[in-house]
Amino acid sequence: MMKVSDSMEVTFSFLVEGGKATSGPPIGPALGPMGINVKEVIDEINKKTKDFEGVQLPIKVIVDKNTKKFRIEVGTPPVSSLIKKELNIEKGSGTRDYVGDISLEKIIKIAKMKGELKKSYILQIIGTCKSMGIKVEGEDPKVIIRKIKKGVYDDKLKEIEGIKETEK
């Protein structure tokens, strides 16, 4: 996807696996006509995303059409990708079967990676677990959501910087 702004910059958006971008489609064919060194772009993307190996990441490549200079912006991966990485699974369940079990600590870790340390966001992540067929703390995610709303996990959540006791 390409977006041209009023300045002489062009923005390209891609979804790539962390540390494994290549000059093949979609990046190479999109950037090649811009006259920039595609290998340099790929190397920079892989350097910036190496810590997210195995996770799909949104990437923006912003190219100045005049100078041919570029910059890379790395977005945060989707929650589902982070859950799969934490559990070391290929995909969620397409059925009602459970394919994994995640701890509340790992959910909190994902919230921190996304920069969203709020109880409401923790509940959203647990909702994603439900749709992926993943148990939380050995239970159906709906049960954990009810427990969090009732305050059962307040002590665990209190330890997290940014989550306030009063936040429901």
Is residue 93's pLDDT more than 80? yes
The more confident residue out of 7 and 166 is 7
**What is the token pair recorded at 126?**
């647990």
Span 95-122, pLDDT tens digits: 778 999 999 999 998 988 887 778 889 9
Using 50, 70 and 90 to split pLDDT, how confident is the model at 148? Answer: very high
pLDDT of residue 153: 87
Query: pTM for the whole thing?
Result: 0.67
Is residue 7's pLDDT more than 70? no
Read off the pLDDT of each residue in 19-33 and give the average, rounded to a whole number.
93
CATH of 79-158, one of 1.10.10.250, 3.90.650.10, 3.40.630.30, 1.10.260.40: 1.10.10.250
Q: Does domain 2-74 bear CATH number 3.40.50.1820? A: no
Q: Which segments of the chain are extended strands (E)?
A: 2-4, 9-17, 56-64, 70-74, 100-102, 134-136
Query: 129 by DSSP, 3-state: which?
Result: helix
The type of residue at 94 is G
Domain residue ranges in the chain:
2-74, 79-158
